[in-house]
Amino acid sequence: MVERALSLKNISKTFGKGHTKVEALKKMDFSVAKGELVAVIGPSGSGKSTFLTIAAGLQKPSTGQVSIGSKSIDAYNSKELAKLRFQKIGFVLQSSNLVPFLTVADQFTLIEKVDKSKKKPAAREDILQALGIEELKQQYPRDLSGGEKQRVAIACALYHDPDIILADEPTASLDSERAFEVVKLLGREARNKNKGIVMVTHDERLLAYCDRTVKIRDGKLADFIPDSAEV
Amino acid sequence: MFLGINEMKYSKGRYLLIILVMALITWLILVLSGLATGLAQGNRLAVDQWKASGVVLSKEANSNLNASTLNQNLASKIKADQVATIGQVSLSISKEDKTDNDRTNVSLFGIDSSSFLMPKVIAGKSFAKKNEVIATEKLKEDGFKLGDKINAGTYDQPLTIVGWFAQSTYNIVPVIYTSTATVKAIKYGSSEAQRDNINGFVFKGTASNQVKTPNEDTVVLSINDFIEKLPGYQAQNLTLDTMIYFLIAISAFIVGIFIFVLTLQKTSIFGVLKVQGVPTSYLAKAVILQTGLLAVLGVLLGTLLTGLTVAFLPDSMPYTTDYGNGSLYLFILVIMAILGSIFSIRTIAKVDPLTAIGG
């Protein structure tokens, strides 16, 4: 049996009450296995962001169960959730999640400083080399190109050896060539390091590099048919 | 601390500005405090040197030695370990051979040279004959020399400086000691009615609350009450202390607002870090430690500036470095700056990591 990195069971999320009630997610089931890169697509307002924030434990679903690995996180409080995010989940966000006043090397140091569990993080040099950014160590984010920033962000996400990587439109600010490069990199890391990777995107050209694609429409999950009939 | 220091290295300009503001405020506070101490000391130094525990003055004098008149025979009725009579007159002096109007204000005390009020003579000799005086060596700065004959106010006989004693001032002016008889002659002339009068008594060795008033026209004051009631003393100290504490409060506001604005600018970074699971406590600690570091650096720079300033202050400025009070102010400044940063912590706590995703 395939080991699950993340699973969402019967997830619903409603905002507001009465006339203003909005159902962002309706009884959604989703899971990603270790070593798998799954793309989640959907038009804006479809519930993609809600899906991602619930998967990350940033907000609680109205009903349903979220599990990271084999553990349900439903009962976690915000402190435990923060710890969980820090240890088990890597993030790659739309507009680079780098701290502007830290050099690339110091972005990694920050992770070490916050981590008090003293677990030996995967060697920094290896990750930098694997992502081809070892030359950028002393640079500040402002000196990096968009592609370089996302590569550093991926390196940071991997640094802590998380089980899952959640990527929110990681290619939004990149040209096609750079975008393909970043997605290929994510896929490679998923397989090499046995991580479950969920990538939310609206760019269908990237789907060829993903193991599986699901589509969110009106808060429901549907299998994606790679077809232009939708457009 | 890691975040704070790296951010300061990255944005040197804006953090240097905060340090500079902090340094300027520290500078002002330390100089003011030095002046306050110097002025206070200028007012009371002679009294401090008496090492007395209290004074006895006439009731209607309103705690003012100069305005007090008592019969000197009351001394025997004051039940204290040591009792000394004291006469005091404020006047201006000049060298007798001087023709210009360049005069020096002094405070002249009439004492018994065998009493505990008598200062240690460090050069020359003690006063013995009428019209002989000993003066604080501070008067050397005004060109007075041992053996100089001086005119004192409207007194028709010249006084002679026969000895020097250490720095001493009363009401900011230099002090001269002479015999009770000489002060009486200056103060009352040859008036027979005033023959037995004197300004008051100073006692030592017995706490002021153990000393009963010798009669109903007199009051007993502890030496601290007496100092507090020196003309202008309290008003001056209150004014300067108020200024200092206002400055400390203002500095807390300025640093607090600076840090608040910088925190607001960083909310998106904090949001992203929170998404990644960096706890709020880590971010809050970073901001507080950063503020503490800024405050300490500012305070040190301000102290350095004060040190330089003091080296160039003119002698006429009554500046005295008060290390105890100065360090206390520096400590309060740092604490207040940190307190000022605390209302930025709420902003950090309220940053919603959700905003960093999607949008």
- Give the contacts of B64 (CB within 8 A, at least 6 positions apart): B57, B229, B231
CB contact under 8 A, A86 and B2: no
CA distance A23 to A21: 7
pLDDT of residue A122: 58
Which amino acid, one-letter code, is at B336? M
CA distance B109 to B178: 6
- Give the contacts of A85 (CB within 8 A, at least 6 positions apart): A56, A57, A58, A91, B275, B276, B277
pLDDT level of residue A118 (50, 70, 90 thresholds): low
Q: Which helix (H) or strand (E) holds B110?
A: strand B104-111
Is it the case that residue B329 has pLDDT exceeding 70? yes
In three-state form (DSSP H/G/I as H, E/B as E, the rest C), the secondary structure along A140-202 is: CHHHCCHHHHHHHHHHHHHHCCCCEEEEECCCCCCCHHHHHHHHHHHHHHHHHHCCEEEEECC
pLDDT of residue B344: 92
Is it the case that residue B131 has pLDDT exceeding 90? yes
pLDDT digits (tens, 9 = 90+) for A52-90: 999 998 889 999 999 998 888 988 998 899 999 998 999
Tokens of B160: 């002679």
pLDDT level of residue A172 (50, 70, 90 thresholds): confident
* Token pair 């395939």 in the structure block, residue: A2
pLDDT level of residue B358 (50, 70, 90 thresholds): low
CA distance A102 to B246: 38
pLDDT level of residue B257 (50, 70, 90 thresholds): very high
Q: Residue A52: its chain B contacts at CB < 8 A?
A: 357-358
Give backbone dihedrals phi and psi of B295, rounded to 5 degrees, phi first: -65, -45
CB contact under 8 A, B354 and A59: yes
Separation in Å, CA of B292 to nearest CA in chain A: 19
Closest Cα to residue A39, out of A158, A207, A164? A207
Separation in Å, CA of A231 to nearest CA in chain B: 22
Helix (H, G, I), strand (E, B) or coil at A103: coil
CA distance B79 to B207: 11
Looking at chain A, which runs of residues are DSSP E strands?
A: 4-15, 22-33, 37-41, 63-68, 71-72, 89-92, 164-168, 196-200, 212-217, 220-223
pLDDT of residue A230: 45
Return the minimum-mean-pLDDT range out of B41-55, B71-85, B97-111, B115-129: B97-111
Q: Which helix (H) or strand (E) holds B232?
A: none
Tokens of B271: 């949001």
- Homologous superfamily of A37-49+81-230: P-loop containing nucleotide triphosphate hydrolases (3.40.50.300)
Q: What's the farthest any 2 CA atoms get from each other in chain A?
A: 56
CB contact under 8 A, B357 and A168: yes
What residues does each domain of chain A span?
A: 37-49+81-230
pLDDT of residue B189: 83
pLDDT digits (tens, 9 = 90+) for B259-309: 999 999 999 899 999 999 899 999 999 999 999 999 999 999 999 999 999
A11 and A27 in contact (C-beta within 8 Å)?
yes
Give the bridge partners for A9, in sequence order.
Answer: A65
CB contact under 8 A, A49 and B358: yes
pLDDT level of residue A170 (50, 70, 90 thresholds): confident
Nearest chain A residue to B286, by CA = A114
CA distance A75 to B151: 94
CA A77-A83-A89 angle, to 5 degrees, is: 115
pLDDT digits (tens, 9 = 90+) for B175-210: 999 999 999 999 888 777 788 899 999 999 999 999
CA distance B340 to B87: 53
Q: How many CA atoms lie within 13 A of B5 on its CB side?
A: 4
pLDDT digits (tens, 9 = 90+) for B213-250: 888 899 999 999 999 999 889 999 999 999 999 999 99
Q: Assess: ipTM above 0.85.
A: yes
Helix (H, G, I), strand (E, B) or coil at B253: helix
Is it the case that residue A178 has pLDDT exceeding 90? no
Q: Residue B279: its chain A contacts at CB < 8 A?
A: 79, 82-83, 86, 114
How far CA B232 is from CA of B40, B104, B235, in Å, comes to 10, 20, 5
Q: What percent of chain B has pLDDT over 90?
A: 75
Tokens of B86: 């004291």
pLDDT of residue A99: 92
The alpha-helical segments, DSSP class H, found in B153-221 are 180-188
CB contact under 8 A, A114 and B282: yes
pLDDT of residue A229: 44
Tokens of B259: 């840090």
CA distance A51 to A66: 11
In total, the C-beta contacts within 8 angstroms joining chain A to chain B are: 74
pLDDT of residue B120: 95
Please give the full DSSP string across B21-67, using - where no structure is assigned.
HHHHHHHHHHHHHHHHHHHHHHHHHHHHHHT-SEEEEEGGGTT-GGG
Q: Residue B10: its chain A contacts at CB < 8 A?
A: 100-102, 140
Return the minimum-mean-pLDDT range out of A77-91, A117-131, A155-169: A117-131
Give the bridge partners for A63, in sequence order.
Answer: A12
* Token pair 């397989």 in the structure block, residue: A191
Instruction: Select the residue of B6, B272, B357 nearest A102 (Cβ to Cβ).
Output: B6
Q: How many CA atoms lie within 13 A of B267 on its CB side?
A: 15
Helix (H, G, I), strand (E, B) or coil at B179: strand
CA distance A211 to A37: 5
pLDDT of residue B64: 92
CA distance A63 to A11: 6
CA distance A215 to A202: 10
According to DSSP, residue A45 is labeled T
pLDDT of residue B110: 96
Q: How buried is B192 (Cβ within 10 angstroms: 0-12 exposed, 13-18 middle, 19+ buried)? A: exposed
A223 and A215 in contact (C-beta within 8 Å)?
yes
Residues of B near A (Cβ–Cβ under 8 Å) read 2-3, 6-7, 9-11, 269, 272-280, 282, 353-354, 356-359
A219 and A25 in contact (C-beta within 8 Å)?
yes
Average pLDDT of chain A, as a whole number: 85
Q: How far apart are the first and last CA of chain B?
A: 31
* Token pair 């525990």 in the structure block, residue: B53
pLDDT level of residue A1 (50, 70, 90 thresholds): low
